[in-house]
Chains A and B, each alone.
Chain A
Amino acid sequence: MHSVLLVGAAFLASTVEMVEALTIVLAVAVTSGWRSASRGVVAALIALAAIVAALGPALAKIPIDSLRVAIGILLLVFGLQWLRKAILRAAGLKAVHDEDAIFAAEVQALEQRGEGKEQDWFAFTVAFKGVFLEGLEVAFIVVTFGGSQHKVGLAALGAAAALIVVVALGAVVHAPLSRVPENTLKFGVGVMLTSFGTFWSGEGIGVSWPGSDAMLLGMIAFVLLLALGCVRWLRHIAPVAAIASEVA
């Protein structure tokens, strides 16, 4: 059960980050051609592979309980931030991530550079930066998710599946994946990260969960209900808060 959830969570989280990277790469490719964009992507993937290859085996040498506490804290903080953003967006208190707008902004920035030899280097850098930074987030998810179970390979499998799906979709659509329900995905990922983070950090500090591993499913259900309840709660209190601040 743990393994299926692990692969699923890594897949969902990686999909979100890869959609963002694809938007940047497509903007570069449309404006400056595929050659420099592809080189930037390949260079970024090599750098990321080196980071995961270096960190993965190093994590395997750390005692599992210490690793669970450290990774549990990271996942819990990181997951609560994702969940907070997704809840605020779902409640209408924060702008939804707009891939079309990001694509247009990237294209405009690249077009303003004008034609010339320098443009290839600029396009390479933009593609590299986009893939490397978003990929670093994927690497973080793979290393933390996999590391706390000493199953980095399984988490990497989820990320690889996400890469195949997003690249295939990008090749077919040839446009920003604006129809991907990114906030819904982020909501789901936030629930998973928060649940895993709570469960693993609890195990690491010596808490004994009732029902043992089955409690992880209970935790996911609890966090999901909590998040959905928070959306309703914010929709209920936000207009009141806005009126109150105007009056004040």
Chain B
Amino acid sequence: MKRLKAFGYFWYDFVIGDDWRIAVSVVLLLTVTGLLARRWNPWPLLPLGVALTLMWSLRRASRAE
């Protein structure tokens, strides 16, 4: 059980890392863009959303320092 927990923690730390909000933002961004993609081609949303997510996370980190 302890090893299983450690293995789970390794993957959480490896993929999700220091800021879980990035993972949540990415899932939300892709869900919304995917839904909009049924009506039009919302390609600018993805780079824009990625930029905003990164800047938001960096801003939070710089305030914590």
Instruction: List, in ascending order, chain A residues with CB within 8 A of B34's CB.
Output: 69, 205-206
Inter-subunit contact B58/A88 (CB<8 Å): yes
Q: Which of A188-202 contact B (CB under 8 A)?
A: 194, 198, 201-202
For chain A, the count of residues having a C-beta within 8 Å of the partner chain is 43
Chain B minimum-CB-distance residue to A215 = B43
Contact, CB under 8 Å: B41 / A208 = yes
Interface of A is mostly: helix
Binary flags per residue of A60-76, CB closer than 8 Å to B gives 1, else 0: 00000000010011101
Contacts of A81 in B (CB 8 A): 15-19, 22
Q: Which residues of B contact A198 (CB under 8 A)?
A: 46-47, 50
Q: How many chain B residues have a CB neighbour from A under 8 Å?
A: 33
Report how far A57 CA is from B26 CA in the complex, Å: 28
Report how far A129 CA is from B30 CA in the complex, Å.
35
Task: Find A207's partner among B26, B46, B50, B51 (CB 8 Å cutoff).
Answer: B46
- Whether A206 touches B53, Cβ cut-off 8 Å, given contacts A137-B14, A237-B62, is no
- Please determine whether B47 and A83 come into contact, CB atoms closer than 8 angstroms: no
**Closest A residue to B65 using CB positions:** A93
A226 within 8 A of B: yes
User: Which B residues lie at the A interface, using CB under 8 A?
Assistant: 10, 14-19, 22-23, 26-27, 30, 33-34, 37-38, 41-43, 46-47, 50-51, 53-55, 57-59, 61-63, 65
